[in-house]
Structure 1
């Protein structure tokens, strides 16, 4: 934020406030991005051991053929053990403002989703900006979605129950690939799980949309760097593609049902609420959760009230959806 008078730190939910206060700022810029990426890699290496926490999930690394002219896409494939029938699937996208992170970062999340829902989870290690600007990441995502659909019989997947999801920039990618899939009309997407999604480059404009957002974790300056890197030009200008910034889509009709969650202190709160409202106005089943006192990444403190509620809500939404899409004979 720009002034002490508008500080939001006293509004952070009390239980997570010490962790949020201690969270080191990204401070993203062309000069710092490599160091920030390395710091995140080091932090994730020290994360809890996934196989020990979720022992019934098998993880394999695969390489999916890229779209024409693109390199193969590395994915992490999470499969519940002892499956006996076609299961639904979730194409998952990690966060990182389009400029950092990897599929490995969300290992625990993907294992938890597979454990709790019985779905196969495929985490996309999409190419990052600024080295690969839009639509590189989206092409990686769509290639993975199409691969799952085209090979559903071999993989034991119910092709009518393929959902997309992700957190932050990953949520933005999930929303974008849902739009692209609708427009192409080849691969159906059954559901979109959007965790505090990064949807609108116009939020990176000169004025912060809401007074008490964007001070901690993911800041206004980080947002400008992320969008500039991904778009390849300044954000907020005319003619930005909805395949890059999903909030730019002219008509949301025909998009799949959605789950959207965001914190009240998140820079994305306005764009996420607006997107949910647009979906609802078109009659698209949409579940929206806005968490008081939650900054971006409000679920980063394991065992906190916000983290527990967050997991309950999004896993519940996925379980209900997958339960409805899986044929009764295989439930």
Structure 2
């Protein structure tokens, strides 16, 4: 599903991308997907020479549920301290299993494409229990993390009509509050995965340039 985005990144930035074919819920609920991601991160680091990859410049990224896995992977990599991560690219990431169950900043959030009911269904399938339940791990829902210190610099991009707007902006604020360099891009009038549905739209191109530039700057450092 993300081949086009990955190919564009490779072609325009000249980077190596390892795309994770992680196991999917509900057949394989948490922690299958995140452990698959971590295994691939370790494999990439171990095989960096064969891949022509600089071990000091390994970034992680994803969109939507993949963005949520990316945020969880950043937490896991920090805590296990086996592989250094230089940057996390979070494209409209799915961070909080409680989203949609509480009052949100606007009734317009989640009206298009990815709705509250879809979000509830997805989290239930992934967690194997009702979203919002007590004891959900931060490696399942990154927003649950109490301590965000020591995470790699981040980019968070989201549309102003995306169901994930509130959680993404709040997560960005929390990252910045503990000194994690964080860039935020909010596209006005954009719904979830808008850039995938209409890639040639002017706002989609602005969004693409935004996160492409952020990743390029991260590797340049």
TM, length-normalised to structure 2: 0.97
Cα separation, 2, equivalents of 1:183 and 1:206? 30
Partner of 1:286: 182
**Could you tell which deviates more after superposition, 153-162 or 266-275?**
153-162
Partner of 2:91: 195
Contact 1:262/1:272 (8 A) holds in 2: yes
Cα separation, 2, equivalents of 1:266 and 1:223? 12
Answer with 1 or 2: which has the greater Rg: 1
Q: Counterparts of 1:1-331 in structure 2 under 5 Å?
A: 105-205=1-101, 207-208=103-104, 210-299=106-195, 300-324=197-221
Quote the offset at 1:118 in angstroms: 1.2
Residue deviations 1:66-111, cap 9 Å, x none?
xxxxxxxxxxxxxxxxxxxxxxxxxxxxxxxxxxxxxxx1111001
Quote the offset at 1:179 in angstroms: 0.3
Across the two proteins, how many residue pairs are aligned to each other?
220
Contact 1:204/1:227 (8 A) holds in 2: no
Contact 2:71/2:88 (8 A) holds in 1: yes
Cα separation, 1, equivalents of 2:190 and 2:204? 10
Cα separation, 1, equivalents of 2:14 and 2:107? 41
Quote the offset at 1:208 in angstroms: 4.9
Cα separation, 2, equivalents of 1:148 and 1:135? 20
Let me know the Cα RMSD of the aligned residues: 1.1
Contact 2:16/2:51 (8 A) holds in 1: no
Partner of 1:27: none
Cα separation, 1, equivalents of 2:189 and 2:37? 32
Quote the offset at 1:116 in angstroms: 1.4
Give unpaired runs (5+ residues) of structure 1. 1-104, 325-331
Hey, which of these two has a bigger chunk of strand by percent?
Answer: 1
Cα separation, 2, equivalents of 1:204 and 1:130? 20
Quote the offset at 1:206 in angstroms: 5.5
Cα separation, 1, equivalents of 2:64 and 2:116? 14
Cα separation, 2, equivalents of 1:236 and 1:183? 24
SS of residue paired to 1:273: helix
Quote the offset at 1:154 in angstroms: 2.2
Give unpaired runs (5+ residues) of structure 2. none
Contact 1:199/1:271 (8 A) holds in 2: yes
Quote the offset at 1:127 in angstroms: 0.6
